[in-house]
Amino acid sequence: MNFKQILISGFLLWLFSVVGTTLVAITQQQTIERIAANEKKVLLKNLYALIPASKLNNDIAQDSLVVDANPLLGTQDQSLVYRARMDDEPVAAVFNTIAPDGYSGAIHLLVGVYANGKLAGVRVVKHNETPGLGDGIEIRKSDWILAFDDQSLENPLPELWKVKRDGGVYDQMTGATITPRAIVKAVKNTLVYFTQNHETLFL
């Protein structure tokens, strides 16, 4: 192989390398954008399931507040609170709450609280609970999670925020008490957090 052939081979290798790297970068960027768009679509679906679009006119996914880690929210890192408004007036706050003591680990929730302190609703967004037992917390599996709609720290009273087995008002699930117990506690704690911080949540 003469010097010219070596140069040509080297150039071709360089060219293939550049083209390959560029294609990988473009694909990766498109994938990241697609994933971000899908995540926002899922987030909006969950947010609007809690706060109907007819009750707000702001971009709830963008109108968010970073809050510090707090035991009442079950968080060890900062998290986002999404804020719903109608003509700039507070409508509701939606919290990323974690129930850390589920049967199979942490249960991630979205907890919507209206400005008057009543629950807009609760949705489970991530969990590792046992299929056929603990997964009844999912809205697509049962309507158990809907029991929180319109509840507050006044109805029921704080001491009744427990599953029935513990003397409270919330149903447990057949063969799965730990899971609903963890969620009831987490939702109550979120309401406590809202009560303690409601004056700063919509600033």
Walk along the chain (203 residues) in steps of 10 and give the mean pLDDT of each run: 68 73 69 66 88 95 95 96 97 97 95 98 93 88 96 97 96 88 97 96 93
Q: Are 177 and 165 in contact (CB under 8 A)?
A: yes
Q: Are 37 and 30 in contact (CB under 8 A)?
A: no
Which tokens belong to 83?
Answer: 């804020």
Which tokens belong to 128?
Answer: 């590792």
Res 43: pLDDT: 84
**Residue recorded with tokens 């109805």:** 155
Write out 127-165 in H/E/C secondary structure. Answer: CCCCCCCHHHHCCCCCCHHHHHCCCCCCCCCHHHCCEHH
- CA 171, CA 181: separation in Å to the nearest integer? 9
Q: Are 110 and 98 in contact (CB under 8 A)?
A: no
Res 194: pLDDT: 98
